[in-house]
Protein backbone atom coordinates (compact mmCIF):
# COMPACT_ATOMS: atom_id res chain seq x y z
CA UNK A 1 0.00 0.00 0.00
CA UNK A 2 1.45 3.34 -1.05
CA UNK A 3 1.04 5.44 2.10
CA UNK A 4 2.03 8.85 3.40
CA UNK A 5 1.29 10.29 6.81
CA UNK A 6 -0.41 13.52 5.84
CA UNK A 7 -1.89 14.98 8.98
CA UNK A 8 -2.08 14.50 12.74
CA UNK A 9 -4.98 15.88 14.80
CA UNK A 10 -4.43 16.04 18.55
CA UNK A 11 -7.82 17.61 19.34
CA UNK A 12 -11.22 18.03 17.68
CA UNK A 13 -10.36 21.50 16.36
CA UNK A 14 -7.53 20.01 14.34
CA UNK A 15 -9.72 17.48 12.50
CA UNK A 16 -9.82 18.38 8.79
CA UNK A 17 -13.02 18.71 6.79
CA UNK A 18 -13.67 15.36 5.08
CA UNK A 19 -12.55 15.27 1.45
CA UNK A 20 -11.50 11.81 0.20
CA UNK A 21 -13.02 8.58 1.64
CA UNK A 22 -11.65 7.59 5.04
CA UNK A 23 -11.16 4.12 6.54
CA UNK A 24 -10.87 4.50 10.32
CA UNK A 25 -8.94 1.80 12.20
CA UNK A 26 -10.29 1.59 15.69
CA UNK A 27 -9.96 -0.65 18.73
CA UNK A 28 -8.89 -1.13 22.26
CA UNK A 29 -5.52 0.18 23.38
CA UNK A 30 -2.72 -2.27 22.52
CA UNK A 31 -4.92 -4.30 20.14
CA UNK A 32 -2.40 -3.72 17.35
CA UNK A 33 -3.77 -0.76 15.35
CA UNK A 34 -0.41 0.80 14.53
CA UNK A 35 1.15 -2.61 13.77
CA UNK A 36 -1.82 -3.35 11.49
CA UNK A 37 -1.21 -0.17 9.48
CA UNK A 38 2.54 -0.87 9.37
CA UNK A 39 1.90 -4.36 7.96
CA UNK A 40 -0.30 -2.95 5.21
CA UNK A 41 2.29 -0.34 4.24
CA UNK A 42 5.11 -2.89 4.46
CA UNK A 43 7.06 -0.41 6.60
CA UNK A 44 7.79 -1.51 10.15
CA UNK A 45 8.54 1.93 11.56
CA UNK A 46 5.78 3.81 9.72
CA UNK A 47 3.40 4.29 12.66
CA UNK A 48 4.85 4.22 16.12
CA UNK A 49 4.21 0.87 17.83
CA UNK A 50 3.78 1.27 21.57
CA UNK A 51 6.11 -0.53 23.94
CA UNK A 52 3.77 0.48 26.69
CA UNK A 53 0.09 0.51 25.75
CA UNK A 54 -2.10 3.57 25.46
CA UNK A 55 0.37 5.77 23.65
CA UNK A 56 -1.32 6.85 20.45
CA UNK A 57 -3.34 9.82 21.63
CA UNK A 58 -4.02 11.50 18.30
CA UNK A 59 -5.76 10.91 14.98
CA UNK A 60 -3.32 10.09 12.16
CA UNK A 61 -4.44 10.54 8.54
CA UNK A 62 -2.50 8.26 6.20
CA UNK A 63 -2.98 9.16 2.54
CA UNK A 64 -3.24 6.01 0.41
CA UNK A 65 -2.20 6.74 -3.17
CA UNK A 66 -4.36 9.87 -3.29
CA UNK A 67 -7.49 7.65 -3.26
CA UNK A 68 -8.39 7.98 0.39
CA UNK A 69 -7.15 7.85 3.96
CA UNK A 70 -6.54 5.11 6.45
CA UNK A 71 -7.03 6.74 9.85
CA UNK A 72 -5.32 5.55 13.07
CA UNK A 73 -7.44 6.52 16.08
CA UNK A 74 -6.52 6.56 19.79
CA UNK A 75 -7.16 3.25 21.52
CA UNK A 76 -9.76 3.12 24.27
CA UNK A 77 -9.88 1.37 27.58
CA UNK A 78 -6.32 1.48 28.82
CA UNK A 79 -6.60 1.57 32.61
CA UNK A 80 -3.38 3.42 33.39
CA UNK A 81 -4.20 6.50 31.34
CA UNK A 82 -5.41 9.31 33.66
CA UNK A 83 -9.15 9.98 33.46
CA UNK A 84 -8.86 13.51 31.95
CA UNK A 85 -6.67 12.08 29.17
CA UNK A 86 -9.16 9.25 28.59
CA UNK A 87 -11.95 11.83 28.33
CA UNK A 88 -9.95 13.89 25.86
CA UNK A 89 -9.33 10.82 23.67
CA UNK A 90 -12.95 9.70 23.85
CA UNK A 91 -13.97 13.22 22.84
CA UNK A 92 -11.57 13.08 19.90
CA UNK A 93 -12.83 9.67 18.72
CA UNK A 94 -16.46 10.81 19.00
CA UNK A 95 -15.72 14.05 17.14
CA UNK A 96 -13.88 12.06 14.49
CA UNK A 97 -16.78 9.64 13.99
CA UNK A 98 -19.39 12.40 13.94
CA UNK A 99 -17.76 13.95 10.84
CA UNK A 100 -19.55 13.28 7.59
CA UNK A 101 -16.70 11.24 6.09
CA UNK A 102 -17.46 8.40 3.70
CA UNK A 103 -15.88 4.94 3.65
CA UNK A 104 -16.12 1.83 5.79
CA UNK A 105 -14.43 1.32 9.13
CA UNK A 106 -12.27 -1.43 10.59
CA UNK A 107 -12.69 -2.52 14.20
CA UNK A 108 -9.76 -4.49 15.60
CA UNK A 109 -10.36 -7.03 18.36
CA UNK A 110 -7.63 -9.17 19.97
CA UNK A 111 -8.24 -12.83 19.00
CA UNK A 112 -7.54 -13.93 22.58
CA UNK A 113 -9.87 -11.53 24.35
CA UNK A 114 -13.60 -11.06 24.74
CA UNK A 115 -14.93 -7.85 23.18
CA UNK A 116 -15.70 -5.23 25.82
CA UNK A 117 -18.08 -2.32 26.26
CA UNK A 118 -15.79 -0.01 24.26
CA UNK A 119 -15.86 -2.42 21.30
CA UNK A 120 -19.65 -2.62 21.46
CA UNK A 121 -19.81 1.18 21.62
CA UNK A 122 -17.78 1.37 18.39
CA UNK A 123 -20.14 -1.06 16.66
CA UNK A 124 -23.07 1.13 17.68
CA UNK A 125 -21.27 4.27 16.45
CA UNK A 126 -20.69 2.72 13.02
CA UNK A 127 -24.34 1.69 12.85
CA UNK A 128 -25.53 5.07 14.12
CA UNK A 129 -23.52 6.96 11.49
CA UNK A 130 -24.49 4.50 8.75
CA UNK A 131 -20.89 3.47 8.04
CA UNK A 132 -20.22 -0.09 6.83
CA UNK A 133 -17.56 -1.81 8.94
CA UNK A 134 -15.60 -5.04 9.28
CA UNK A 135 -14.05 -6.66 12.32
CA UNK A 136 -10.44 -7.85 12.18
CA UNK A 137 -9.24 -10.35 14.78
CA UNK A 138 -5.61 -9.42 15.59
CA UNK A 139 -2.60 -11.37 16.87
CA UNK A 140 -3.84 -14.76 15.56
CA UNK A 141 -0.19 -15.93 15.60
CA UNK A 142 -0.68 -16.22 19.38
CA UNK A 143 -3.34 -18.95 19.08
CA UNK A 144 -3.43 -22.18 17.10
CA UNK A 145 -5.10 -22.08 13.70
CA UNK A 146 -7.63 -24.65 14.90
CA UNK A 147 -9.05 -22.07 17.31
CA UNK A 148 -9.52 -19.25 14.82
CA UNK A 149 -13.01 -20.23 13.71
CA UNK A 150 -14.29 -20.61 17.27
CA UNK A 151 -12.80 -17.27 18.32
CA UNK A 152 -14.27 -15.55 15.26
CA UNK A 153 -17.72 -16.92 16.12
CA UNK A 154 -17.43 -15.91 19.79
CA UNK A 155 -16.35 -12.38 18.87
CA UNK A 156 -19.11 -12.04 16.27
CA UNK A 157 -21.71 -13.17 18.84
CA UNK A 158 -20.40 -10.80 21.52
CA UNK A 159 -20.60 -7.87 19.11
CA UNK A 160 -23.94 -8.85 17.57
CA UNK A 161 -22.48 -8.97 14.05
CA UNK A 162 -24.41 -10.10 10.99
CA UNK A 163 -23.78 -13.45 9.30
CA UNK A 164 -21.86 -11.62 6.54
CA UNK A 165 -19.52 -9.95 9.05
CA UNK A 166 -17.34 -12.80 10.28
CA UNK A 167 -14.12 -11.39 11.82
CA UNK A 168 -11.05 -11.62 9.57
CA UNK A 169 -8.02 -13.38 11.12
CA UNK A 170 -4.94 -11.12 11.03
CA UNK A 171 -1.35 -11.16 12.24
CA UNK A 172 1.27 -8.45 11.97
CA UNK A 173 3.88 -11.15 12.69
CA UNK A 174 2.97 -13.65 9.92
CA UNK A 175 1.09 -11.22 7.60
CA UNK A 176 -1.94 -13.52 7.79
CA UNK A 177 -4.97 -11.71 6.37
CA UNK A 178 -2.99 -8.77 4.96
CA UNK A 179 -4.06 -9.32 1.34
CA UNK A 180 -7.68 -9.68 2.28
CA UNK A 181 -7.61 -6.52 4.35
CA UNK A 182 -5.87 -4.55 1.58
CA UNK A 183 -8.69 -5.54 -0.81
CA UNK A 184 -11.26 -4.54 1.79
CA UNK A 185 -9.65 -1.12 2.27
CA UNK A 186 -9.65 -0.53 -1.50
CA UNK A 187 -13.36 -1.45 -1.59
CA UNK A 188 -14.13 0.85 1.31
CA UNK A 189 -12.27 3.71 -0.35
CA UNK A 190 -14.29 3.25 -3.53
CA UNK A 191 -17.53 3.63 -1.62
CA UNK A 192 -19.09 7.01 -2.06
CA UNK A 193 -22.03 6.57 0.28
N1 LIG B 1 2.26 -11.41 18.42
C2 LIG B 1 1.75 -10.30 17.90
N3 LIG B 1 1.94 -9.11 18.53
C4 LIG B 1 1.39 -8.00 17.98
C5 LIG B 1 0.63 -8.05 16.78
N6 LIG B 1 0.20 -6.80 16.50
C7 LIG B 1 0.69 -6.01 17.47
N8 LIG B 1 1.42 -6.71 18.37
C9 LIG B 1 2.10 -6.18 19.58
O10 LIG B 1 1.13 -5.57 20.43
C11 LIG B 1 1.64 -4.37 21.04
C12 LIG B 1 0.75 -3.18 20.70
O13 LIG B 1 0.81 -2.94 19.31
P14 LIG B 1 0.41 -1.52 18.68
O15 LIG B 1 0.40 -1.71 17.20
O16 LIG B 1 1.22 -0.42 19.22
O17 LIG B 1 -1.09 -1.38 19.23
P18 LIG B 1 -2.06 -0.10 19.17
O19 LIG B 1 -3.44 -0.64 19.09
O20 LIG B 1 -1.62 0.83 18.09
O21 LIG B 1 -1.80 0.53 20.62
P22 LIG B 1 -2.19 2.01 21.12
O23 LIG B 1 -1.80 2.97 20.02
O24 LIG B 1 -1.37 2.15 22.33
O25 LIG B 1 -3.65 2.02 21.37
C26 LIG B 1 3.07 -4.24 20.53
O27 LIG B 1 3.94 -4.81 21.48
C28 LIG B 1 3.06 -5.05 19.23
O29 LIG B 1 4.33 -5.54 18.88
C30 LIG B 1 0.44 -9.34 16.14
O31 LIG B 1 -0.22 -9.50 15.10
N32 LIG B 1 1.02 -10.42 16.75
MG1 LIG C 1 -1.18 2.84 18.11
Of the candidates 68, 50, 84, 100, the residue with the CA atom closest to the CA atom of residue 3: 68
Distance CA 82, CA 10 (A): 17
Distance CA 109, CA 90 (A): 18
Around ion ligand 2, residues with a beta carbon closer than 5 Å are: 33-34, 56
Residue 50 has pLDDT above 90, yes or no: no
Delimit the domains of the chain by residue range. Answer: 3-190
What are phi and psi for residue 117, nearest 5 degrees?
-60, -40
Q: What is the CATH number of domain 3-190?
A: 3.40.50.300
Q: For a pocket test of ligand 1, which of 41, 50, 89, 141 has the largest count of ligand atoms closer than 8 A to its C-beta?
A: 50
> How far, rounded to the nearest angstrom, does the alpha carbon of residue 64 sit from its chain's CA centroid?
15
Ligand 1: list residues with CB < 6 Å: 27, 29-35, 49-50, 53-56, 75, 138-139, 141-142, 171-173
pTM (two decimals): 0.93
Note the pLDDT tens digit of each residue in 111-159: 999 999 999 999 999 999 889 999 999 999 999 999 999 999 999 999 9
Assess contact for 106 and 26: CB atoms under 8 A: yes
Amino acid sequence: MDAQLERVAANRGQLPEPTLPEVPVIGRSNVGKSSFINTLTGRKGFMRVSNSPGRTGAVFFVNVGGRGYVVDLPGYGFAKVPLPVKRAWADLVEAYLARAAKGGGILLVDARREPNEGDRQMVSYFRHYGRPFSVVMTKVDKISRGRWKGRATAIADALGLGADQEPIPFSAVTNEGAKRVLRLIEEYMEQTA
